[in-house]
Amino acid sequence: MVILETDHKVFMGLLETMLSESNAQYVFLVDKSGPQIAAAGDLEMDTTSLASLTAGAVAATEGLSSLIGETQFSTLFHEGAEHSLHISQVGEKAILLIIFDEKSSLGLVRLRTQQHLPALVDAVEEVVNRSQQDGRPSATISSAGFAEISDEDIDALFG
Amino acid sequence: MSFINYAAREINCKIVYYGPGLGGKTTNIQWIHEKTRADAKGKLISLATETERTLFFDFLPIELGTIRGFRMRFHLYTVPGQVFYDASRKLILKGVDGVVFVADSQEARMDANIEAVRNLNENLKEQGYDLATMPYALQLNKRDLPSAVALAELEKALRIKDEPIFEAVATTGEGVFDTLKSIIKLVLKDLKSR
């Protein structure tokens, strides 16, 4: 998947709207293979681990759903004493994680998710489709000079 | 499937350590975590049982500086090696960019090694990948044990293409970074050639 700056702006616009309208602490878009796509909110946390574990939880839930013959469980909810997590599938490739506390409620988070999810699905699909069309990722990588990467560049990574 | 973020100027690649149970996959990751400088690594997450067997996966993010202005981030995962955790192994292979196969050199584990290679091939195919073209490195671990099988015999049994092969003793770190460096190079070369 290749995220361009224009994609990032679209994602951030949607996530920030969801953050404010749902009174959440953190809204987080994650690629299903584990990396973070975009995030809005000011909670101090290890976002890399959060993204990886969210992807793992969704992957495990997908495994469970296929075992019982469901196509997917579209939503996961974890209720904690202070913070709760609401996780939704965003199309085939991404996951939306919302962290909220007592300033919000499960009902409000679900409502805002239902309202904004279609736009988020469209935005992710546009990125995915572009990545799959006529070698565009290669083109963007090349245009950034990445194709000219040398063995020396790689060696330099290790100091 | 590498993940390139132009807004954050970073490239994320996923490397999976695969192999038979108790072969040393987690030990590899633990050594990398221990020996990587604090500002270049994230938290090591191990989803393990009470007896420290990997239940779902271990996860370690590392960052190796920048290439052409892009931060190079590698997400290292292990899979549970035990045969009955096959469903978990399939899930972790999603979006993989490179695989390190950690083989157990002991004679008694030869069948388990061969079965794990077969299982890797099958699970990659199921995810739409081809081991023949996937960046891949073979690590022959536990070379210090008296029951270790001769190198040539292991190579004959486990080599599947022209992959680089490393002898290792993961508990002392021998061969661990050589393997990591090799798979990272293969992944980056693959990314470059796409």
For B162, the domain range is 3-193
Instruction: Look up residue A105 and give its two tokens.
Output: 């409620």
Could you give the number of structural domains in chain A?
Answer: 1
What CATH number does the domain containing B60 carry? Answer: 3.40.50.300
pLDDT at A135: 45
Which residues of chain A neighbour B89 with C-beta distances below 8 Å? none
Which of A5, A62, A144 is opposite residue B68, by nearest beta carbon?
A: A144
For A137, the domain range is 5-157
Q: Tokens 């070698």 identify what position?
A: A135
B-contacting residues in A 88-127 (Cβ below 8 Å) = none
Q: DSSP secondary structure string, chain B? A: --EEETTTTEEEEEEEEE-STTSSHHHHHHHHHHHS-GGGB---EEEE-TTS-EEEEEEEEEEEEEETTEEEEEEEEE---SGGGHHHHHHHTTT--EEEEEEE-BGGGHHHHHHHHHHHHHHHHHTT--TTTS-EEEEEE-TTSTTBPPHHHHHHHH--SS--EEE-BTTTTBTHHHHHHHHHHHHHHHHHH-
Could you give the number of structural domains in chain B?
Answer: 1
Beta-carbon contacts of A51 under 8 Å, excluding residues fewer than 6 positions away, are: A28, A30, A31, A34, A35, A36
Which of A40, A49, A38 shows the shortest CA–CA distance to A95?
A38
The answer to whether B76 touches B40, Cβ cutoff 8 Å, is no
For residue B175, give Cα distances in angstroms to A9, A71, B189, B190.
43, 43, 21, 23
Q: What residues pair up with A39 in beta bridges, in sequence order?
A: A28
Interface check B88 vs A, CB under 8 A = yes
- List pLDDT tens digits, range B132-162: 999 999 999 999 999 999 999 999 999 999 9
Q: DSSP secondary structure string, B25-39? A: HHHHHHHHHHHS-GG
What mean pLDDT, rounded, does chain A reach?
A: 87
Average pLDDT over residues A133-147: 51
Average pLDDT over residues B165-191: 94
Alpha-carbon torsion angle A11, A35, B67, B62, nearest 10 = 150
Q: How far is CA B192 from the centre of its chain?
A: 20
Round to whole Å and give the CA distance between B28 and B49. Answer: 18
What CATH number does the domain containing A128 carry? Answer: 3.30.450.30
Instruction: Look up residue A10 and give its two tokens.
Output: 């679209």
pLDDT at A71: 85
Which of A3, A145, A157 is opposite residue B4, by nearest beta carbon?
A: A3
What mean pLDDT, rounded, does chain B reach?
A: 93
Q: Give the minimum alpha-carbon distance from A159 to chain B in angstroms, rounded to a whole number.
A: 9
pLDDT of residue B17 exceeding 60: yes
Task: Return contacts of A120-124, CB within 8 angstroms, 24+ apart.
Answer: A120/A11, A120/A14, A120/A29, A120/A90, A120/A94, A120/A96, A121/A90, A121/A91, A123/A7, A123/A10, A123/A11, A123/A14, A124/A29, A124/A37, A124/A90, A124/A91, A124/A93, A124/A94
Which chain B residue lies closest to A157 (C-alpha atoms)? B64
Q: Tokens 């990588």 identify what position?
A: A141
pLDDT of residue A117 exceeding 90: yes
Mutate to test the interface with B, among A64, A141, A143 (most CBs of B within 10 A): A141
Write down the pTM of the prediction. Answer: 0.89
Quick check: ipTM above 0.90? no
- List pLDDT tens digits, range B82-137: 888 888 899 999 999 999 999 999 999 999 999 999 999 999 999 899 999 999 99
